[in-house]
A and B are shown apart, each in its own frame.
Chain A
Amino acid sequence: MIDLGQKNVRSAGTTDVVVIGAGHAGLATSFCLNERSIDHVVLERGEVANSWRKERWDSLKLLTPNWQSRLPGFLYAGDDPDGFMSMPEVIDFIAAYAEFSEAPVKTNTTVTSVSQNSRGYRVVTNTGEWQAKSVVIASGACNVAVTPKVAESIPADIASLTPHQYRGPAQLEPGGVLVVGASATGLQLADEICHAGHEVTIAVGEHVRMPRRYRGQDIQVWLDRTGILNECYDEVDDLARARGLPSPQLIGSSERKLLDLNSLTDNGVRLAGRLMGVNNGAAQFSGSLSNVCALADLKMKRLLDMIDNWIMTHPVLCDGAERFDATRIDESPTLSVDLTDGSIRTIIWATGFRPDYSWLDVPVLDRKGRIRHDGGVVDAPGMYVVGLPMLRRRKSSFIHGIEDDVRDLTTHLHNFLGGELRLAS
């Protein structure tokens, strides 16, 4: 089931389009290229849905409900539209899509270099070389777990883990855990590790607070119906900010659980400010905790106001408006934790992710290492990127958000190829 279509896929040669990555974004791209009969190959370093297999912790479920798990030509067909997929379920879903879409996937094929030449792009892999007029980068937004510079100053006897290395609390040694970062990842791990009996401190910088359910519906229902998820990249005030927003503090669970800093506090997790440095063996936290929480509370309230206003002008049946408690902060949150007295045994860096472009030998990266693109049209002729946050729309990084982006970009790509339909014979 895994080596889908493998028998028909060449190891090397010439094609119109090389798609890099067989996750949901690469497979959706392949589906849309197939619709237009554009010759292409999808190169995958591991198996279909590789990141979902190898780079996710065990308990993770999607942040979006099942009704939002849809790809071009492919809908969720299960009996729990309001549930949240576990990782094995996501892998099955994407693998089934690969089969359904008959994507020409070449698995276990790692791209080691992409460079420009007179005929387009030369794509070198561990199994051979490809020549293509166009390249679609669909290799993911979260290849590398980013750690701040302060990570280098942590005493060597403290275990240091990224979310890519973390599978579950069983792998942690007994003792205190410092979780750095308060996005979806940081909160979920702090919650799980605290329930496993560890003393947990979470370092909280700027974050996005969002309730799982609002007015009797999943928050995603409102984000979808109000049109927020469809907001386009050329409509937002500050695109760089929108693209860099941390993931909202949500968790997917069968009990539709609310996860926020208050629920962590109720379970005994200690809140600290952003981790700023390590000095004489002590971790130092920012004194800005109350402000980052005030910012997040105000922004959540603005979102809920917007939803309430939308409901007022649309005929929907739902529960009444509600407001959530402000984030509770100690009068004097801790500013420092001793890393040498044994109270902290593990630090988890939930400090974000970035794509890996180390194989990309085309000068399209900015000084921060981000790919330069206009809504997925990369700053090199015939090159495209898909599956990044806010690529073309707020929903771009969600599974269901890929379709509109990929349809837009394959139209652009088709025009780039000269509209020359190459009918597969």
Chain B
Amino acid sequence: MSAVLKEVDNGVNVEALLGAREALTEAPEAAHFVWRATSEWQNGTHTQSSVNRYFGLGEEQSHVQEYSYDTDHPEIFASEDKGSTPVEFVLVGLAGCLTAGIAAVAQNRAIQLNSVKATIDAPMDIQGILGIDSDVRNGFAGITVKYQIDANASEDDIAAIVAQSQKRSAVFDIIANPTNVTVEVNK
């Protein structure tokens, strides 16, 4: 058994994040980012989408590689199920965003995470999307995220990390708050 105190390491470079925060406070125009995705219909309800390039820090940027994703509907919708449903992708985005935030906040608060697992439930009444009942919205009736977190911290400190992560989460904001959406065709 080693008696040496291990440094907290969640694999997040907090110094770089705090440095970026300071730099962007002085240069707010560099904080203007544009995120992009492209997509192409394959067949049926199957669409392939990809991401690579984005704009930020005043210039065009790109990921280390292009990532591509298939979305489709399951077989009970008479589809071929070649990928997750788009609504599941929204949950994937929420889980990824909140969990990244938890890691960053924990690192900043010097809390070692041992494991962070989430289960997300998002009930939906599909009478909305099927046009059966116009009083039913298309989207989720609500979203419940349940975290199981093992960390070297008190229950209250863990709860505070999760709350802070929600407060700073882009996807949480995108889902919880209205956003204007403009869809153009053949322009």
Q: Are A288 and B166 in contact (CB under 8 A)?
A: yes
Q: What is the CA–CA distance of A284 and B178 in the complex, to the nearest angstrom? A: 7
Residues of chain A within 8 A of B142, CB atoms compared: 332
Q: What is the CA–CA distance of A287 and B164 in the complex, to the nearest angstrom? A: 15
Q: Does B38 contact A (CB under 8 A)?
A: no
Q: Looking at chain A, what size class is its interface with the partner chain?
A: 10 to 19
Considering the complex, which residues of chain A in the window 280-339 have a beta carbon less than 8 Å from any beta carbon of chain B? 284, 286-288, 291-292, 294-295, 298, 301-302, 332
Q: Are B177 and A276 in contact (CB under 8 A)?
A: yes
Residues of chain A within 8 A of B172, CB atoms compared: 288, 291
Q: Which of A273, A284, A291, A367 contacts B163 (CB 8 A)?
A: A291
Q: Which of B156, B160, B177 contacts A286 (CB 8 A)?
A: B177
Q: Does B130 contact A (CB under 8 A)?
A: no
Q: What is the CA–CA distance of A367 and B31 in the complex, to the nearest angstrom? A: 15
* Most A C-beta atoms less than 10 A away, residue of B167, B175, B178: B178
A to B CB contacts below 8 Å, 25 in the list:
A206-B167, A273-B176, A276-B178, A277-B177, A277-B178, A284-B177, A284-B178, A286-B176, A287-B177, A288-B166, A288-B173, A291-B163, A291-B166, A291-B167, A291-B172, A294-B159, A295-B160, A295-B163, A298-B156, A298-B159, A298-B163, A301-B156, A302-B160, A332-B141, A367-B28
Q: What is the CA–CA distance of A291 and B173 in the complex, to the nearest angstrom? A: 11
Considering the complex, which residues of chain A in the window 373-410 have a beta carbon less than 8 Å from any beta carbon of chain B? none
Interface of A is mostly: mixed
Considering the complex, which residues of chain A in the window 170-227 have a beta carbon less than 8 Å from any beta carbon of chain B? 206
Q: Does A279 contact B (CB under 8 A)?
A: yes
Q: CB-defined interface of B145-169 with A at 8 Å, one 1/0 digit per residue?
A: 0000000000010011001101100
- A294-B163 contact in complex given A288-B172, A301-B156, C-beta closer than 8 Å: yes
Considering the complex, which residues of chain A in the window 255-292 have a beta carbon less than 8 Å from any beta carbon of chain B? 273, 276-277, 279, 284, 286-288, 291-292
Q: Which of A288, A294, A295, A298 contacts B176 (CB 8 A)?
A: A288
Residues of chain B within 8 A of A294, CB atoms compared: 159, 163
Residues of chain B within 8 A of A277, CB atoms compared: 177-178
Q: Are B178 and A279 in contact (CB under 8 A)?
A: yes
Give the Cβ gap from A148 to chain B, nearest Cβ, in Å: 13
Residues of chain A within 8 A of B173, CB atoms compared: 288
Q: Which of B28, B167, B177 contacts A295 (CB 8 A)?
A: B167
Q: Are A298 and B160 in contact (CB under 8 A)?
A: yes
